[in-house]
Amino acid sequence: MLKRREPLSITLRLALLFAAIAAAAFVGVGAYLYQTLSRQMVQRDDMDLLNKAVMLRHVLAEQGSLAALRAQPDMALNTVYGQDIRLRIAAMDGSPLAQNSSALPPPELPGVPAAREPAMGDIRNWHSGTGMARVLNVQATLNRREPPVHITLLRERSDRLAIIRRYAIDLLGALLAGAALVAALGFLIVRTGMRPLYAVIGKANDISAHRLNSRLAVDEVPAELRELGVAFNAMLDRLEEGVQRLSGFAADLAHDMRTPVNTLMVETQVALSRPRTVEEYQALMASNLEEYERLAQMIENTLFLARADNAQLGLQREPLELRAELERIGEYFEGLADDSGVALALELPEGGSLQADAILFQRAANNLVSNAIRHTPRGGRVSLGAHFADGELLVKVRNTGEGIAPEHLSHIFDRYYRADPARPASSSSAGLGLSIVRAIMALHGGRVDAASGPGETCFTLHFPHNG
C-alpha cells in the first residue's frame, strides 16, 4: 500500500526555497562572470596577435629584402620568441620562408593587404588537432621591388580554455556551498521567526474544556498571526457560550423535572400514610395524571428541540392554504379566548398559500397564540393575521397588555426562559414554547422576531416566499 507522504514543514520548505532562489541568483551571476572572463581573454589574445603582426611588418621592412629574410629568419621569428604564438612567413605562392612550428593551417590567401592595418575582425577561429586556436593572416612588404610576403600568426586557446574551465568548476563549487549556506541560514532564521507561532500553539494547548475563559493576547502576537488569534478567540467565545448554554440547559431541565416529580412523590407519600377511600385514591390519581401529562409534554418538547438541533427532523413541506390554516387556529382558540375574556380577531388575507410542514406551522402559530392569550388581561384583544411583503410571508400575532420589558425581550427565545419566573410553577409554562417556534422557523429557512411596547406585543413569523 502506498504511504501518504507527510507534508514538508514550513521551515524546511522555506529553507529549500531560499536555497533554490540563491542557487538561481548564483547561477545567473556565475554565468555572467564566466562569459565576461572568457570574452576578455579572447580580446586580450587577439590584441596580442594584432600587435605582433604590426611588429613583424616593421621588422620585415627593416630587413628590406627576401634574401636578408632567408639569411636571417631568426630576426623575424624572435619577435614572438618565448610566447605561445606560432608563426610562419611564406611567399605568396605558399612556400614557407621562415616558421617556428609546422602545426599551422595552410596560409589563407591573400590575407590583410600590406596597406591596411589588421583589425579584430580579421582574426579567425581554427580547429587544430589539439583544440581551438585564433589565426591571423596578413601581408607584409619588404621593399618596393619584391612581392609581399604572407604571414600567418596562430595562438592556441587550449591553455586559456583550461583556465576558464577551472574557473567554472570553482564557480560551481562556490555556488553549491553558497546555496547550502543560504539553506542552513534560512532554516535557522525561519525557525527563529516561527517562534511566536509555537507560542500561540502552546497557548492553545493550555486551553481545555474546563478553562474555556482563557484567551490569546491578540496584541502580543505578530500581525500575520493576529487574524488567526482573533478567529481562534471568536471560536472560543462560541464554544464557551455553547458549553454554558448546554450546562444551563441540563440544569434547567433537571430543575423543571424535579418540581412535578416532587409533587407526585409528596402527594403519593401523604396518600399512603393511612388507608384512603376509593374516591380519595381516584382524586389523587386524577391530580397525578395532570402532573404526568405536564412531564410528558416537557419531555416531548425537549426531545423535539434536541432533534431540531441535530437537524434530524424531516420537513414534510406541502402547499398550505393560508386562509384555511389561520381559520382553523382561530376556531381552536375560540373557547380559551372566551374563558379568558379576551377578544380573538382574525385578519385574513384574500388568498395565497405557502410551502410548509402543516403540523409544524400549526405548532408554531399555536404557541404564539396561546402565549398571547395567556398574557392578555381580561377585556384585551389578540389578533392573528398574515400578509406578503418583500418576498416574505409574515404571520403576525399581536396582543394588548403590559408588554415585555426590553431586558427580557432578547432572552424570551432561550430555552426555559420565562420573563416572569414568579409565575406559579404548577402553571403549565415551561419556557420552551418560543424556543420551539424559533427551531421550527429555522427548519423552514425563516425566522421569528418579537417587538413589544407598553400596551402591545407583536410576534412575527417570517417565511421565505418566492413568487
Judged by the rule CB under 6 A, the positions of this chain that interact with ligand ATP are 367, 371-372, 375, 399, 401, 404, 412, 417-420, 428-434, 457
Segment interacting with Mg ion, rule: CB under 5 A, options 74-82, 110-118, 277-285, 433-441: 433-441
Shortest reach from residue 421's CB to ligand ATP, in Å: 8
Shortest reach from residue 200's CB to Mg ion, in Å: 46
Identity of the residue, 107 or 433, whose beta carbon is nearer to Mg ion in the bound complex: 433
Cβ neighbours of residue 79 under 8 Å, at least 6 residues apart? Answer: 52, 55, 56, 59, 87
Helix axes 223-272, 278-309, angle to 10 degrees: 170
Using CB distances below 5 to 8 A depending on partner kind, what does residue 225 bind out of ligand ATP, Mg ion, none? none
Measure the CA angle with vertex 49, ends 46 and 52; round to 5°.
Answer: 150
Backbone angle region of 111, left / alpha / beta, with phi > 0 → left and psi within -120 to 50 → alpha: left
Identity of the residue, 85 or 360, whose beta carbon is nearer to ligand ATP in the bound complex: 360
Assign 3-class secondary structure to 297-348. Answer: HHHHHHHHHHHHHCCCCCCCEEEEEHHHHHHHHHHHHHHHHHHHCCEEEEEC
Segment interacting with Mg ion, rule: CB under 5 A, options 52-60, 213-221, 368-376, 381-389: 368-376
Interaction between residue 371 and Mg ion (CB under 5 A): yes
Interaction between residue 446 and Mg ion (CB under 5 A): no
Identity of the residue, 393 or 434, whose beta carbon is nearer to ligand ATP in the bound complex: 434
Shortest reach from residue 393's CB to Mg ion, in Å: 22
Shortest reach from residue 311's CB to ligand ATP, in Å: 21
Q: How many CB atoms lie within 10 A of CB 455?
A: 10
Segment interacting with Mg ion, rule: CB under 5 A, options 2-10, 67-75, 357-365, 427-435: 427-435
Whole-number Å distance between alpha carbons of 228 and 224: 8
Shortest reach from residue 366's CB to ligand ATP, in Å: 10
Using CB distances below 5 to 8 A depending on partner kind, what does residue 432 bind out of ligand ATP, Mg ion, none? ligand ATP
> In this structure, what are the phi and psi dihedrals at residue 104, rounded to the nearest 5 degrees?
-130, 150
* Cell numbers that stand for 87 in this block: 608563426
Cβ neighbours of residue 337 under 8 Å, at least 6 residues apart? Answer: 343, 344, 373, 382
Identity of the residue, 137 or 376, whose beta carbon is nearer to Mg ion in the bound complex: 376
Shortest reach from residue 412's CB to ligand ATP, in Å: 4
Shortest reach from residue 368's CB to Mg ion, in Å: 8
Identity of the residue, 302 or 371, whose beta carbon is nearer to Mg ion in the bound complex: 371
* Binding residues with Mg ion: total (CB under 5 A): 2
Interaction between residue 376 and Mg ion (CB under 5 A): no
Shortest reach from residue 375's CB to ligand ATP, in Å: 3
* Cell numbers that stand for 381 in this block: 384583544
Cis peptide before 110 (omega within 30 of 0): yes
Identity of the residue, 107 or 401, whose beta carbon is nearer to ligand ATP in the bound complex: 401
Indicate the pairing of strand 149-156 with strand 85-90: antiparallel
* Cell numbers that stand for 462 in this block: 417570517
Cβ neighbours of residue 17 under 8 Å, at least 6 residues apart? Answer: 186
Cβ neighbours of residue 321 under 8 Å, at least 6 residues apart? Answer: 353
Whole-number Å distance between alpha carbons of 53 and 66: 18
Identity of the residue, 18 or 413, whose beta carbon is nearer to Mg ion in the bound complex: 413
Q: Which residue is nearest to ligand ATP (CB)?
A: 433
Shortest reach from residue 363's CB to Mg ion, in Å: 11
Name the residue among 311, 327, 325, 315 with its Cα closest to residue 354. Answer: 325
Identity of the residue, 229 or 401, whose beta carbon is nearer to ligand ATP in the bound complex: 401
Identity of the residue, 137 or 301, whose beta carbon is nearer to ligand ATP in the bound complex: 301
Cβ neighbours of residue 291 under 8 Å, at least 6 residues apart? Answer: 260, 263, 264
Whole-number Å distance between alpha carbons of 290 and 260: 10
Using CB distances below 5 to 8 A depending on partner kind, what does residue 420 bind out of Mg ion, ligand ATP, none? ligand ATP
Indicate the pairing of strand 343-347 with strand 381-389: parallel
Identity of the residue, 52 or 374, whose beta carbon is nearer to Mg ion in the bound complex: 374
Segment interacting with Mg ion, rule: CB under 5 A, options 132-140, 175-183, 338-346, 428-436: 428-436
Using CB distances below 5 to 8 A depending on partner kind, what does residue 37 bind out of Mg ion, ligand ATP, none? none
Using CB distances below 5 to 8 A depending on partner kind, what does residue 457 bind out of ligand ATP, Mg ion, none? ligand ATP
Shortest reach from residue 433's CB to Mg ion, in Å: 3
Site residues for Mg ion per CB under 5 A: 371, 433
